[in-house]
Amino acid sequence: MSAKLHTNRYGKSRVRLMRVTRHEGHHDVDEWTVQVLLTGDFETAHTLGDNSKILPTDTMKNTVYAVARDSKATSMEDYARELVDFLLGRNPQVSSAEVVIEATLWKRLHVDGKPFPTGFMKGSEERETTTVSRAQGGTFSITSGLDRLTIMKTANSGFVGYIKDSLTTLPETTDRLFATALEAHWPYTDKAIAAGIDFNKVRHHLREVMVAAFAHHDSLSVQQTLYAMAEAALAHTDIIDQVYMLMPNKHQLLADLNKLGKDNPNHIFVPTDEPHGTIEATIRRA
């Protein structure tokens, strides 16, 4: 039997980085988890065990910290671009490099009713994300987003008119709790990347637009609300042309209190994560 290497890439994952930026009178912090992936001429490493074209993944880890030390980037997207450029510039055997970053949220402490300049507390499980890649001699591809944004509404949500067969036990409702852990990401257009983007500002605005759409939407299904949120994001800016949305339905089940001799007028619920509905879609500009 003969075999041929088809595709391959390798890199370093889950490189943890905390960056403190010291300004006059206050500090800012960024906590990033970084993944580096390289594609290139690595066939002989697989077929012959020849490592002469292999950059050690431990060196990639060190590169993450070294580039961060000298970086002036104010966003993880711009830092990722610096990291990609550094790796491609030093490694001609690498045809393309991709950097994926997930940011953990830290909030400034409030002490005596005022923001404390050097104190922080960890935020929710929400994460900010980006994937940045470039081929040798090519232009950047940048996709940004957010993940694990847990949101819930206690009104304006129902689910009726669905298929009912011999295995259906779910009752229709026009008044249910709607909870989800949103994942969303959007690629920026080539034109916008070339012109320059304030990545932090855009992410903040798109997040606020989607959260507002979730809150205001009179939901007939998770699918309908997902579409409304993506539609609001596309209407907000022309520097993106599509949005991917993943919205698991984090069920809040109405507790059966009949056996306790009590009614339950949509008052007591049982939160459950498993099993849960999974709804995803990519919405593009028409």
For the chain, which residues make up each domain, given as ranges? 10-138, 149-284
Beta bridge mates, 271 = 252
Tens digit of each residue's pLDDT (9 = 90 or more) over 43-83? 999 999 999 999 999 999 999 999 999 999 999 999 999 99
Instruction: Name the CATH superfamily for 10-138.
Output: Urate Oxidase; (3.10.270.10)
Q: What is the mean pLDDT of residues 28-56?
A: 97
**Does the structure show a pLDDT above 90 at 97?**
yes
Does residue 245 contact residue 230 with C-beta atoms inside 8 Å?
yes
Q: What is the mean pLDDT of residues 170-175?
A: 93
pLDDT at 152: 98
Q: Which position has the token pair 């002989």?
A: 44
pLDDT at 273: 84
Number of H helices, E strands in the chain: 6, 10
Give the pLDDT band (50/70/90) at residue 1: confident
Q: Which residues contact 154 (CB under 8 A, 6 or more apart)?
A: 177
Tens digit of each residue's pLDDT (9 = 90 or more) over 109-133? 999 999 999 999 999 999 999 999 9
Q: What is the mean pLDDT of residues 127-149?
A: 98
**Architecture in CATH of 149-284:** Roll (3.10)
Q: Reading across the β-sheet that carries 141-153, which strands appear in turn?
A: 10-23, 26-40, 94-111, 114-135, 141-153, 178-187, 242-246, 280-284
**Does the structure show a pLDDT above 80 at 142?**
yes
Share above pLDDT 90 across residues of the chain, in percent, rounded to a whole number: 98
What is the SS3 assignment for 138?
A: coil
Which residues are part of the catalytic machinery? 12, 57, 251
Beta bridge mates, 249 = 180, 277
Peptide bond into 248 cis (omega under 30): no
Topology agreement, domain 10-138 and domain 149-284: yes
